[in-house]
Amino acid sequence: MNPTMSPVIEVRGLTVEFNGVPAVKLVDLNISKGHIVGIVGESGSGKSTLASALIGLLPDSARITSGQIFFDDRENTPATPEIFSELRGHFISMVSQDTLSALNPVLTIGQHLIDIQFRESISLEEKRQRSIAALESVHMPDPEARMSMYPHELSGGQKQRVSIAMAVMVKPKILIADEPTTALDATLEVEIIALLKQLQKKIGCAMVFVTHHLGVVASLCDDVVVMHQGSIQEVGNVRDVFLKPKNDYTKKLLKCDPARIEKKCRQLPTMDAPNQKRVEDETAKTKRLSGDQAPILQIENLTVKFPKPFGLAALFQKAISKDITAVNNVSLNLFAGETLAIVGESGSGKTTLIRSIIRLVSCQTGTISFFGKSILDQSRDDLESTRKEIGYIFQDPIGSLSPRMTVEKIIKEALPSEVGNANDEAQEVQNLLSLVGLPIKFSSRYPHELSGGQARRVCVARALAQNPKLLIADEPTAGLDVSIQGEILNLLAEIQDKIRLPILIVTHNLNVVRHISDRMVIMLMGEVVEEGATDDIFSKPVHEYTRRLLNSNIHALPE
Amino acid sequence: MIIYTIKRVLLALLIMACAVSTMFVMIHAVPGDPANVMLGPRATPEIKEALRARLHLDQPLSTQLFYFFKGLISGNFGFDLRSNRPVLDIVLEQLPHTFILVSSALIVSTLGIPVGCYAAINRNGKFDRIVGAISVSIIAMPAIVVGLYLLLFFSVELRAFPVIGAGDSDDWLDYLWHLTLPVITISIAWIGYISRLVRASMIEVLSQNHVLMARAFGLPEARVMSRYALRIAVLPSITMMGVSVAFILSSTVITEIIFARPGLGSLLYESVLSRNYPLVMGTVLVSTIFIVGGTTIADLINAALDPRALKEND
Amino acid sequence: MALDQKKEAQNFSDGLSSAVIYRLVKDPMGLVGLLIVVSFVVIAIFADFFAPYDPSKLDILNKLQGPSADHLFGTDQLGRDTLSRLIHGTQIALMVAGVSIGLAVLIGSILGAIAGYGPNWLDFVIMLLFDMVRSYPVIMFALAVVVLFGPSLLTIMAIIVATSFPTYGRLMRTQTQSLRQAEYILSARALGLGMPRILVRHVIPNTIGPILIVASMDVPFVIALEAGLSFLGLGVRPPTPSWGSILNDGYTYIRNSKWILISAGIPLILVTIGFTFLGEQLRDIFDPKIDRGS
């Protein structure tokens, strides 16, 4: 980094171990005054552990086995727990990853803000005024009223604003932000990042920004640190690293990010095949999509309402009429061989919509037909056989696998009954596992012994075991590193090419949608606001909300 | 909060009404003539007839229940079959002894809070291990064994504590002296239980993100513990202490009998042995009020300490 | 090949349950708990073999004796051997606990599952029932019931079932409510599996653990309740030996011989420690977050 500037914080040869397994290995790092440094890496790269070490708040199970951390304030004295606790809250502060749990549920917002000014010897009223000013600085609406509210009365975005207000109010020299926007919707993410950048300029602190999102690094940071398996792979100016990466790992990581691939790809690059970028040719595409005119899945005017929960109050006042409408008058079609993406932010009703297709959620009005047969008025037996024909991949990969069954049993349960004897079934399970790229030995594992990516593959294998005529996937790549994300998506595309499987995919990840879907539907508060071919919507969005959504999709190239 | 309180109290009344009616119906739906059961086989037909008329036993069950509730509202719990005194008077005479015993036991049980808290902060330390082993061992120790052993060693062998009675209620030192062993009998298991509960919830709270964040702002450790952690960690214990009134009342019966103390337990035991139904009914009714009151108060305290509770119950 | 695989999977799940036992035995607390519980069960089953005397054999000449080589725990007011009576009392204690907790678990689980799975109004009614039962003080309720139906083993068991099923009901309700939205249950439904299969293969295996742990912790409470009622003379009728009635003998003759009381307390203390240790350790192994009662 810039050698002329003195670092606010300097890390020398830091190694952190968890039960003897190193999570951070011999890391050297200097962070200069007023710089924003992004730390990127996949899950398990040690980036969060490094951030916790910087503020001296490692979990109890972690041990620092070598190395020292120096602060600008205490020159030539390596930080001790005493120094850390003295510096925390005015020299160094932090914004947490988990917005929902970062604030104490039984204290008001005002109490949080006033508490952290315990070092200041000013009157309580002055502390209150400062707190209100801090809330104003993060653009919190009606800050005075918010002071007496409890965390559960705020939305996720508002909670994150309070966390930022707290971190900035103490005017730190260095601010640590550990994935501060991961839990937020895309449009909100853009606002929060802009806010952080603005406040960082205002108080002139250095900032360490931990993220797995390359786009955020490109748009926010001055410098970038790339981590892999606990060690630093590459350090440098964001432009230099992103445009001319030197390290092999960095190169692969950058190549795998779908946001950085301009052309629409049928097969995305993976860590094993970083140069793979197969674009589908027109003949293949026509072959995949053309043919039958009748849609395989047809939804018309579907409305889903949830009744308000029953309480004692309902006995006295007949206030049951206030239903919550989750899906409002939605119609859509899905044809053979095509991928339809349903895009929307949390609470837009997209998951409810796809669950109502197989009647996991019951709907009030509308029709759903599958191969021309209505699903909604099927008997229990017919419904069960329809469900057998529809593969469904749930959002939470580990949570959707029965915890006390082995992978083999889980997949066997999905096999159609005509497969036959135990031998054939076992053979089939093996075939499926190898199809999704898992070694045979995984068949005897339990769900909690799988990583997120492995569990996701098992979910895909189970859905394929059904021999489905339609595949529904709810956020199939959420929480996955870009490399694994590519592998899962490539696998789905391959199968679709082979058997012209129609796929309905729900996601909020626009970079993924752009590559894999033929058509897309955009949902907002239970309603479809825009529908059309993916390419058209990305080039000429019509609805105002669509435009806002597309603008929030941060591109992974430095400005 | 006001709405919540009203709702919670209404629910409590509903529970009480259901509990009392069930008890009433059970007593009166037993095969055989209740008058026979109450008076024994030797009573003359005239006496039986008189009793039937007085207790409305000749009416259908629903009418009996109606009379019973009508009586309750006007404070008439019925009359003792032997002395003919109002049941309410007799119960109220005995109530203070039980009330003092139960509330002292509850207060002593709160000793578990600092113990569990200290154990959680020094998790896996020496104190934690020793306290852990002790509290797990005493957690389910039956009051009957504790009470009898205390009686044997301290009262009969060492003669350090009185064997019988509640003491002179005008002489508070004497009263306290008589109260000591019964209170220990009842609360020893609860100290263990509360300390385990506080320890577990404290450990959970300490691992939560907001405690980490409070530390990230350099707040002094003592303040993090008291203001950020303990306030949340005691919530389950408060709920539990509300529920514990039922368990404690059960132990009270045994304890009162072992130490020959006056109180609801002894009263109930005697009236059960003499088949004095109105008295049984009255005692059970008052204890039910006790218990439902306990859980309701615990829920209200919880709601006052935890703003989330109001929302969930809305 | 397929057979091999099946074997491998089988070995693995065997490995899982033996891992539980290994972790149980590795911790001194779990080991002590397991040893105590197993010995009590063995003693109960082979009571005739372990008891040195016939529990009802009178020997007036040797009444109210202290411990001696002939009578390890001494004799009672009728000269019966206290140790033999306690050993036979183990049968009553464990049978009452086993049968009544078993029934309570069954009834509670069914009601809890209905409350958790069924319509909201039914949930409200069932919860009201649970709250109602919870508002009776167990012993007071028991006293009242015993008066109505007369003291017997059956009455005691009925009382225990009636007062303890809400504990399991509430636990089961919470479990089914969280399972109802669990994605693996949804995905079993999405696979088109029938309800019975989902219940047997997915719901029960994932709810039974916590219930068993609470049941194990509940055994001492139930045994103490039986002892308490027998102590009050409202439980098992004499001359059947029960820990509670032996305690009552000890209480009555407290000034003549302390040994009856002291010996009768020992098995109650041991069995309490045994089941509590076992339950605590199982809880640590399976799920640190289940809470009893509330």
DSSP label at residue C242: -
Question: Do B136 and C149 lie within an 8 Å CB cutoff?
Answer: no
Are the CB atoms for B112 and B190 separated by under 8 Å? yes
**Pick from A57, A107, A115: CB nearest B212:** A57
Question: Contacts of residue A82 in chain B, CB cutoff 8 Å?
Answer: none
pLDDT digits (tens, 9 = 90+) for A55-87: 988 888 888 999 889 888 777 778 888 888 888
- For chain A, the average pLDDT equals 86
Question: Do B311 and A152 lie within an 8 Å CB cutoff?
Answer: yes
What pLDDT was estimated at residue A292? Answer: 66
Question: Do A88 and B218 lie within an 8 Å CB cutoff?
Answer: yes
What pLDDT was estimated at residue A318? Answer: 45
pLDDT digits (tens, 9 = 90+) for A214-226: 888 888 899 999 9
Q: How far is A430 from chain C (nearest CA, A)?
A: 10
**Pick from B19, B143, B239: CB nearest C136:** B19
What pLDDT was estimated at residue A461? Answer: 92
Measured distance CA(A117)–CA(B218) in Å, rounded: 10
For residue A440, CA distances in Å to A243, A403, A455, C99 come to 40, 19, 14, 46
In our burial notation (b when 16+ CB lie closer than 10 A, e otherwise), range C60-81 reads: eebbbbeeeeebebbbbeebbb
Are the CB atoms for B298 and B241 separated by under 8 Å? yes
What pLDDT was estimated at residue C142? Answer: 83
Strands (E), A229-296: 231-237
Q: For chain B, list the contacting chains (3+ Cβ pairs, <8 Å).
A: A, C
Positive or negative: CA dihedral A183, A186, A191, A193:
positive
What pLDDT was estimated at residue C288? Answer: 40
**Pick from C16, C183, C202: CB nearest A396:** C183
What residues of chain B, 32 to 51, have a C-beta less than 8 Å from chain C? 37
Residue identified by tokens 């360490």 is A208
Measured distance CA(A403)–CA(A148) in Å, rounded: 43
- For chain B, the average pLDDT equals 82
Least confident of A107-116, A474-483, B37-46, B254-263: B37-46
Angle at B41 between CA B38 and CA B46, to 5 degrees: 80
Q: How far is A494 from chain C (nearest CA, A)?
A: 23
Q: Which two tokens stand for residue A311?
A: 């309480």
Question: Contacts of residue A101 in chain B, CB cutoff 8 Å?
Answer: 208-210
Domain B2-31+93-312 has CATH 3.40.30.10: no
Q: Please give the backbone phi and psi of residue A327, each rounded to the nearest 5 degrees, phi first.
A: -130, 130
Angle at A294 between CA A293 and CA A297, to 5 degrees: 135
Numbered residues of chain A with Cβ closer than 8 Å to any chain C Cβ: 309-310, 312, 355, 358, 360, 383-388, 390, 392, 394-396, 399-406, 408-409, 413-414, 422-423, 425-427, 443-444, 446, 459, 462, 466
Least confident of A436-440, B77-81, C113-117: B77-81
Within A244-312, residue ranges assigned H as helices are: 248-256, 282-289
Residue with the larger pLDDT of the pair A16 and B309:
A16
Least confident of A115-129, A182-196, A279-293, A419-433: A279-293
Residue type (1 letter), C213: I
Residue type (1 letter), A196: L
Positive or negative: CA dihedral A209, A215, A219, A222:
positive
- Say yes or no: B280 contacts chain C, CB-CB below 8 A: yes
**Pick from C129, C140, C291: CB nearest B249:** C140
Other CB atoms within 10 A of residue A362 CB:
11
Question: Contacts of residue B149 in chain C, CB cutoff 8 Å?
Answer: 261-262, 265
Residue identified by tokens 């790229």 is A437
DSSP label at residue A278: B
Measured distance CA(B162)–CA(B143) in Å, rounded: 18
Residue type (1 letter), B36: N
Numbered residues of chain C with Cβ closer than 8 Å to any chain A Cβ: 1-2, 5-6, 8-9, 12-13, 16, 120-121, 123-124, 182-184, 186-194, 201-202, 205-206
What pLDDT was estimated at residue A529? Answer: 92
Residue identified by tokens 């899945």 is A297
Q: Would you place residue A419 in the very low, low, confident or very high pLDDT band (cuts 50, 70, 90)?
A: low
- Say yes or no: B209 contacts chain A, CB-CB below 8 A: yes
Mutation choice for C interface testing from B144, B158, B161, B196 by most C CBs within 10 A? B144
Measured distance CA(A157)–CA(B58) in Å, rounded: 69
**Pick from B18, B137, B272: CB nearest C143:** B272
DSSP label at residue C241: -
Residue identified by tokens 């005024």 is A129
What pLDDT was estimated at residue C232? Answer: 85
- Chain C residue whose CA is closest to A309: C120
Q: Would you place residue A2 in the very low, low, confident or very high pLDDT band (cuts 50, 70, 90)?
A: very low
Q: Which two tokens stand for residue C81?
A: 């051997």
Measured distance CA(A179)–CA(A184) in Å, rounded: 10
Strands (E), A164-230: 174-178, 206-211, 223-228
Largest CA distance in chain B: 84
Measured distance CA(A484)–CA(A491) in Å, rounded: 11
Identify the burial level of A60 via C-beta atoms within 10 angstroms of its C-beta, where 0-12 means exposed, 13-18 middle and 19 or more buried.
Answer: exposed
Are the CB atoms for B100 and B179 separated by under 8 Å? yes
Q: Would you place residue B35 in the very low, low, confident or very high pLDDT band (cuts 50, 70, 90)?
A: low
- Rounded to the nearest 10 degrees, the angle between the axes of helix C2-26 and helix A422-435 is 80
Question: Contacts of residue B223 in chain A, CB cutoff 8 Å?
Answer: 115, 118
Other CB atoms within 10 A of residue B270 CB:
14
What are the DSSP calls for A137-154, one per residue?
A: HTT-SSHHHHTT--GGGS
Which whole number is the average pLDDT over B284-301? 86
**Pick from B11, B209, B217: CB nearest A98:** B209
3-state secondary structure of A406: coil
Length of chain B, in residues: 314
Measured distance CA(A140)–CA(A152) in Å, rounded: 16
Question: Do A87 and B215 lie within an 8 Å CB cutoff?
Answer: no
Residue with the larger pLDDT of the pair A530 and B240:
A530
What pLDDT was estimated at residue B232? Answer: 87
Which whole number is the average pLDDT over B254-269? 88
Identify the burial level of B164 via C-beta atoms within 10 angstroms of its C-beta, where 0-12 means exposed, 13-18 middle and 19 or more buried.
Answer: exposed
Measured distance CA(C210)–CA(C208) in Å, rounded: 6
Question: Contacts of residue A118 in chain B, CB cutoff 8 Å?
Answer: 219-220, 223
Identify the burial level of A306 via C-beta atoms within 10 angstroms of its C-beta, where 0-12 means exposed, 13-18 middle and 19 or more buried.
Answer: middle
Q: For chain A, list the contacting chains (3+ Cβ pairs, <8 Å).
A: B, C
- Chain B residue whose CA is closest to C233: B273
What pLDDT was estimated at residue A477? Answer: 83
Angle at C95 between CA C92 and CA C99, to 5 degrees: 145
pLDDT digits (tens, 9 = 90+) for C137-152: 788 788 878 777 777 8
Measured distance CA(A134)–CA(C135) in Å, rounded: 50
Q: Are strands A206-211 and A21-32 parallel, antiparallel or unpaired?
A: unpaired
pLDDT digits (tens, 9 = 90+) for B115-126: 888 888 888 788
ipTM score of the complex?
Answer: 0.80
Q: Which two tokens stand for residue C109?
A: 């689980």
Q: How far is B62 from chain C (nearest CA, A)?
A: 20
Least confident of A120-134, A451-465, B294-308: B294-308
pLDDT digits (tens, 9 = 90+) for B148-183: 888 888 887 777 777 677 666 677 778 888 888 899
Question: Contacts of residue C16 in chain A, CB cutoff 8 Å?
Answer: 446
What are the DSSP calls for B170-191, one per residue?
A: TSHHHHHHHHHHHHHHHHHHHH
Q: Which two tokens stand for residue C146?
A: 């015993």
Give residue limits of the domains in chain B.
2-31+93-312, 34-76
What pLDDT was estimated at residue A174? Answer: 92
| Omega before residue C239 within 30° of 0, cis | yes
A203, A186, A165: which is closest to A36 by C-alpha? A203
Are the CB atoms for C82 and C264 separated by under 8 Å? yes
Question: Do B23 and C144 lie within an 8 Å CB cutoff?
Answer: yes
- Say yes or no: B204 contacts chain A, CB-CB below 8 A: no
**Pick from C9, C183, C191: CB nearest A413:** C191
- Say yes or no: B312 contacts chain A, CB-CB below 8 A: no
Measured distance CA(B34)–CA(B26) in Å, rounded: 11
What are the DSSP calls for B117-175, one per residue?
A: HHHHHTTTSHHHHHHHHHHHHHTT--HHHHHHHHIIIIIIIS--S-SSS---TTSHHHH
For residue B17, CA distances in Å to B10, B66, B285, B313, C8 come to 10, 12, 10, 22, 59
Question: Do B243 and C294 lie within an 8 Å CB cutoff?
Answer: yes
Q: How far is A467 from chain B (nearest CA, A)?
A: 43
Other CB atoms within 10 A of residue A262 CB:
10
Q: How far is C239 from chain B (nearest CA, A)?
A: 20
Q: What is the dihedral of CA B160, B162, B168, B174, to 10 degrees?
A: 20
What pLDDT was estimated at residue B16? Answer: 84
Mutation choice for B interface testing from C96, C128, C147 by most B CBs within 10 A? C147
pLDDT at residue B48 above 80?
A: no
What pLDDT was estimated at residue A556? Answer: 54
- Chain A residue whose CA is closest to B207: A59
Neighbouring residues of C263: CB distance < 8 A, sequence distance ≥ 6: C67, C73, C74, C82, C83, C86, C246, C250
Q: Would you place residue B37 in the very low, low, confident or very high pLDDT band (cuts 50, 70, 90)?
A: low
Largest CA distance in chain A: 79
Residues of chain C with pLDDT under 70: 1-20, 63-64, 286-294
Are the CB atoms for C261 and C251 separated by under 8 Å? yes
